[in-house]
Amino acid sequence: MPRSTHAFFAAAAIVAASFSPAIALAQTAPAAQPPAQAPAAAQPILKPTDSQLEKFASASQKVAMVADEYRPKLQAAKDDPAREQVYREADEKMVKMVQADGLTVDEFNGIGQAVEQDPALRKRVIDIAQKNAPAGGATTPQ
């Protein structure tokens, strides 16, 4: 699953930007990516169920936190091998987070694509995430 990190960072940035300013820092992670690879094979899930959206919202928040955690490590990496090691570590952590929420990497990426393409789905995911956010934790200004 070496390409999943890039999809995770992208999906996390898309959704997390609306969850809170603190998590929105994950948006800067894609800029540190190595050269673009072939697009992921995951097809968007056109009509995710409410259950899938809830799992996606939860997993996205966790993935965004991992992206935020690893962003400084990526920026501090001195060369490509060091960056690849950071990506591998982040990837392993993100895969575990997604799987712990009951989704496969392909499901997560497919829902992420669907959410990116459909503003109504995006709003539903944001609403779910805000409803499930710990009180006061997700709205702390920077």
85, part of any domain: yes
48, part of any domain: no
Per the listing, tokens 């169920």 go with: 49
Amino acid at 4: S
40, part of any domain: no
pLDDT digits (tens, 9 = 90+) for 51-91: 999 999 999 999 999 999 999 999 999 999 999 999 999 99
Q: Is the pLDDT of residue 97 over 70?
A: yes
Q: How far apart are the first and last CA of the chain?
A: 34
34, part of any domain: no
Q: List C-alpha distances in Å: 54 to 43, 94, 98, 132.
A: 19, 17, 12, 9
Model pTM?
0.69
66, part of any domain: yes
| Range of the structural domain that residue 106 is part of | 4-22+53-132
126, part of any domain: yes
Assigned token pair, 44 = 């968007």
Domain count, the chain: 1
142, part of any domain: no
